[in-house]
């Protein structure tokens, strides 16, 4: 699911978090990856995609910091 401004609770619970640039096909950074051996039960894997401007290094770092804070 694409979230433009996901709440900290969503960031904290997602199994996979990817930053992507909708204006640059193929540009994406997996910030949080699914842990090896993680068993997926009857529910879907929680994946969130956050759209960013890949040319704005400060914004990309701000998202990385926010994700780290939510998952601490």
48: phi then psi, degrees, rounded to nearest 5: -125, 140
**Could you tell me if 45 and 14 are in contact, meaning their C-beta atoms sit under 8 angstroms apart?**
no
How many residues in the chain?
72
* Residues 15-65: tens digit of each pLDDT: 899 999 999 999 999 998 866 555 555 556 688 999 999 999 999 999 999
Domain boundaries defined on the chain: 8-34+45-71
pTM of the model: 0.81
Give the pLDDT of residue 32: 87
CA-based Rg of the chain, rounded to a whole angstrom?
A: 12
Residues forming a β-bridge with 8: none
Give the pLDDT of residue 27: 96
**Could you tell me if 36 and 68 are in contact, meaning their C-beta atoms sit under 8 angstroms apart?**
no
């Amino acid at each position: 699911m694409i979230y433009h401004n996901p709440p900290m609770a969503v960031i904290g619970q997602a199994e996979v978090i990817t930053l992507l640039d909708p204006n640059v096909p193929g540009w994406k950074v997996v910030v949080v990856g699914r842990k090896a051996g993680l068993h997926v039960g009857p529910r879907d894997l929680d994946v969130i995609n956050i759209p960013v401007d890949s040319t704005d290094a400060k914004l990309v770092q701000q998202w990385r910091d926010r994700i780290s804070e939510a998952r601490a």
